[in-house]
Amino acid sequence: MFHFIIQLSLVCISLSMLGLIYRVIKGPSVPDRVVALDAIGINLVAIIALVSILLRTNAFLEVILLIGILAFIGTVAFSKYIEKGVIIESDRDL
């Protein structure tokens, strides 16, 4: 029963990822795609958590935190590029 619930949640998250991939491909503007990619990263965290429950291991828990941090840094970099055109400024006060 427990196994079945985990597999059902994996199917649900896969469906939501498919919807987000549709938004990444179709999305009319760049910010749509960036938000969809961010949400794909968070869904990936959920999938890794569920798979590590299925495999009965805690070796993947670092990966969860890693993907969270990388998704955050990537989204910040993308949004800064959209807003300012540069990602790393040399001097902000100019």
Cα 12 to Cα 57: distance, rounded to the nearest angstrom: 22
In the complex, minimum distance from the CB of residue 69 to other proteins, in angstroms, rounded to a whole number: 6
In the complex with other proteins, the residue whose CB is nearer, 25 or 83, is 83
Regarding 62 and contact with other proteins (CB under 8 A), the answer is yes
Secondary-structure percent of the chain, ordered helix, strand, coil, rounded to 5? 80, 0, 20
Intra-chain end-to-end CA distance of the chain, in Å: 62
- The length of the chain in residues reads 94
Residues 65-94 that bind other proteins (CB under 8 A): 65-66, 69-70, 72-73, 76-77, 80, 83-84, 86-92
| Interface segment toward other proteins; rule CB under 8 A; list 16-24, 29-37, 45-53, 55-63 | 55-63
Regarding 11 and contact with other proteins (CB under 8 A), the answer is no
